[in-house]
Amino acid sequence: MPSYAYDRLSAQDNSFLLWETPYVHMHVSSTMVFEAGPFRTADGGADIERYKRATEAILHRVPRYRQKLHWIPGFQHAVWVDDPRFNLDFHVRHTALPKPGTAAQLKRLSARIMAQPLDRRRPLWENWVVEGLEGGDHFALITKIHHCMIDGASGMDLSQILMSPSPEPADFEPPPPFIPKPAPTRAELVRSEVGRMLGTPFRALRDFQRFTEESDDVREELRTRLRAIVKMLGMGMSADATPLNGTVGPHRRFDWWRVPLADMKAIRHTLGCTINDVVLTIVTGAVREYLLLRGVDPGSLTFRVSAPVSVRNAEERGKLGNRVSSWVIELPISEPDPRAQLEALHTETARLKEERTALGVETIMKMADFTPSTLLTLGARSASGPINTIVTNVPGPQFPLYLQGAKLLEIYPQVPLLGGLGLGIALASYDGTVHWGFNADPDVVPDADVFVEQIRAAYARLARLAPDAPTKPAPSGRSKAARPARAAKGGNGSAATAAT
């Protein structure tokens, strides 16, 4: 069978399929708010046909958008094949909020869309154009794409294919015709996979030779990777039970918050740390206060977060798929002082960076490419670590993006909930603003809005340690449906209306 007819998923990409259960959906999502601009119709709606043409015009640049999964018989592994029945209307949806079209309504709609699984019989993405936002001058775009296709960095790269830094609408050029390549038969997939397994020793030897050529000190590199794996596996396979953890069900609640990036950078410079240290300190303070509100002693348990770390190099920019590792970080929730929290986290993240701890997950996933597919689930589970939540922070472009002339104003990311995680936190910085997205299971965390309030309060406490840090207004032009209250002087962050 010609190899061009399909692409085998990497072990890491495939692991996101194996993690999925009826209630754990491994797609990443975002809710974006745009100025209506050229998408405004005469009746105040959003021009869905214009959006479809814009999407159709770039599909040839993202071939994965017209490919679907085929499973290799007898193996827990999938390949990508062209979808001969690809229909753009299935993937681009159009809906509207009922009046008055508030932020709370948009959050509820986002949560319902996020709670639904993607259809594995089709390409694994959906985009929902939402009109009816309060004020009538904006529309929203809710995106869903399976994690087996992208990570945070490739998702940001993808956004710059779909959008442009130019405010001028681009002309629609006729896209090249889509001629789907033939899919392999079941027998051909099995034969290819068996041949791949037989060739595993040769591939492993070739990769090890490349590894030795690229390493300055092979022994030290091997020791570093082994220490990272041992340390990660030494944490065990389970995390302490907390009010933020439990059996994940079918429902979701989505909330968001935003803060000027300049304010967070000022805190970073004043306190001598990184933006990630600031983020983790804010989360630490929020978790601590939330546990106290729920009657739990923060000193009685260990609370760990997974902080994804991109290992994508320059040559891999713009490519889909996952090139991500992670740090597993124990938050100092027993410490009440935000300065002491920050110092502890700064010391820990500096140690993790110096010891290259992220190599543990990366090495396990590389090893998974050489193991039978039936062992991949165990490897993926161990790579996720014993965690209580995920905190992912993806830097985006610090200049405006436009969708066919419609300016992107806000982008609130959503990270999927793994089994046992009742809350996930994702951040995306864009055009001078840090956007926080909170994905929760309301049956596990029924008061996610309270947690968001604790995030705001923790940010205010940390900002007070940097009194010279400027507090700028949120960027102008935000949609009325998603406009937060102005931050109080002294660094207290602003928050959009909480979901109800």
Residue 272, number of CB atoms within 10 A of its CB: 10
Task: Specify which residues 426 forms β-bridges with.
Answer: 392, 437
Q: How far is CA 319 from CA 10, 17, 149, 432, in A?
A: 13, 19, 10, 25
Provide the 10 A C-beta neighbour count for residue 174.
Answer: 7
* Whole-angstrom distance, CA of residue 257 vs CA of residue 495: 5
Type and span of the H or E element at 345: helix 338-354
DSSP characters over 352-412? HHHTTTTHHHHHHHHHHTTS-GGGHHHHHHHHH-S-SEEEEEEE--SS--EETTEEEEEEE
| CA atoms of 27 and 55, how far apart (whole Å) | 20
- Return the ∠ at Cα 128 (arms to 134 and 65), rounded to 5°: 155
94 is catalytic: no
CA distance 432 to 195: 51
SS3 484: coil
Of the residues 138, 147, 346, 435, which is catalytic? 147
Angle at 376 between CA 374 and CA 380, to 5 degrees: 150
Catalytically annotated residues: 147
